[in-house]
Structure 1
Amino acid sequence: MKKLLFPALALAAVIGGGVWYSGQSGSPAIELPNVVPPAVAQESADAADIEIADFQMGNPEASVEVIEYASFTCPHCATFHDSVLPKLKADYIDTDKINFVYREVFFDRYGLWAAMVARCGGEEKYFGISDLLYDKQREWAQGEPAEIANNLRRIGKTAGLSDEALDACFGNAAQAEAMVAYSQENMEADKVTGTPSFVIDGKTYSNMSYEDLSEILDEKLEKADG
């Protein structure tokens, strides 16, 4: 399980530590040729005015809700999405037994960039792009910042996003800031200290096998039905 920094440090590492759109706290902005054109990277919206939505699968009216906290750069999260999530989908999500909510965690700028690409596809494409990001994590998360950003751009285009859409998403500084703030707020509220973590009906659990997760869900469903 990947452990988190203290919230204030985590926020500084993602936003103040050289994210492509920012030059705060003595960290110069990173130049990403052909990724964030000057004409695009000039969003002026206030992050406080932007509402960040959760993406969900399954039955919104289900009696049991599972919230996953994960980072696109976390290897353990990639393992969960490769080996556990397909079983969870087949047995509980696609059968409408539970509501599954995915919440992004940011350890670094690259996880934030990946999340912005996933969100760029909207609700229709979000989980499909997420699957690509986890499947190809070892490929896109390597190299210099400009290389990684271009790798992410290619994933977005593979998912059908246009250059114009990706430019707008990469250049939306206020959206990025709002995403980080929303993530920190939720992690503090749910006492999340590493990824992947799961909040099931208000109780936070660390990473676990499918068998252990299934046992918890069956118990919760049995109580809800009883």
Structure 2
Amino acid sequence: MKRLIATAALALAVLTGPVQAQDAPDTSQITEMTMGPEDAPVTLIEYASFTCPHCASFHAGPFKQLKADYIEDGQLHFIYRDVYFDRFGLWASMVARCGGEEKFFGIADMIYDQQRDWTQGEPAEIAGNLRRIGKVAGLEPDTLEACLNDQDKAQALVAWYQQNAEADNVTSTPTLIINGEKHSNMAYDDLKAIIDDKLAE
């Protein structure tokens, strides 16, 4: 399980290049990626990284079950929040977000499903792998390049992640916040029991 070790300033420098001290990225335009009705009785926030193997496993298993059991029938409001351990996770997020809310979760599924493949190689190869995923998902090459080269968006995303992670005291991924209570990764049966208890309250 990966640990969060970077401060906001260090994260910005590592992921997006040097940032002037007076710069204050505008996070107000960052879109929260969600599924299910906002007024559902249970809200689950997942903090995850596209380069985290445990997160890939969560999306291959428990997340699909969550959708079938709770999200699709309106019992659960799901919120996905990025955590950036490295620039590759940030690049993946920028590709996933490039298609907007409508395409985000579909592209995210592809990125997680192919995690072992696209994360291999030098940075240029990894960027190329992500571009291929974006193109397969239907993103136009020009649109994809614009998304990947949007430095203002990159800095805003990193600042937004750091704000969220500090507010919820996130120290590893995946971290689940269920109706305000923080939980670490767990088997689906245990997750289901917590959700059922919340629904019964």
TM-score interval (norm. to shorter): over 0.9
Gaps of 5+ in 1: 26-44
User: Could you say which residue in structure 2 is the equivalent of 1:4?
Assistant: 4
Whole-angstrom CA distance in 2 between matches of 1:114 and 1:83:
20
Partner of 2:26: 48
Report the equivalent of 1:164. Answer: 142
Instruction: Measure the CA separation in 2 of the matches of 1:174 and 1:50.
Output: 12
In terms of Rg, which structure is larger? 1
1:178 corresponds to which of 156, 163, 172: 156
How many pairs align? Answer: 198
CA shift, 1:51, in A, is: 1.8
**Letter of the 1:15 counterpart:** L
Partner of 2:12: helix, strand, or coil? Answer: helix
Which residue is equivalent to 2:43? Answer: 65
Distance 2:141 2:194 in 1: 43
Shift in Å at residue 53 of structure 1?
1.5
Is 1:124 the counterpart of 2:102 in the alignment? yes
Match for residue 172 of structure 2 among 194, 198, 219:
194
Contact in 1 for aligned 2:12/2:159 (Cα 8 Å): no
Q: 5+ residue gaps in structure 2? A: none
Separation of aligned partners in 1, 2:186 and 2:135:
33
In the superposition, the TM-score normalised over structure 1's length comes to 0.84
Which residue identity is paired with 2:63?
L
**1:42: which partner in 2?**
none
Q: Which residue of 1 aligns with 2:192?
A: 214
Matched to 1:2, the amino acid is K
**Are 2:130 and 1:133 aligned?**
no
Aligned Cα root-mean-square deviation (Å): 1.6
Contact 1:196 1:207 in 2 (8 A): yes
Deviation at 1:50, TM superposition (A): 4.9
Distance 1:58 1:99, change over 3 A: same
Match of 2:128 in 1: 150
Residue 7 of structure 1, CA deviation: 2.9
**For 1:222 and 1:74, how far apart are their aligned partners in 2?**
33
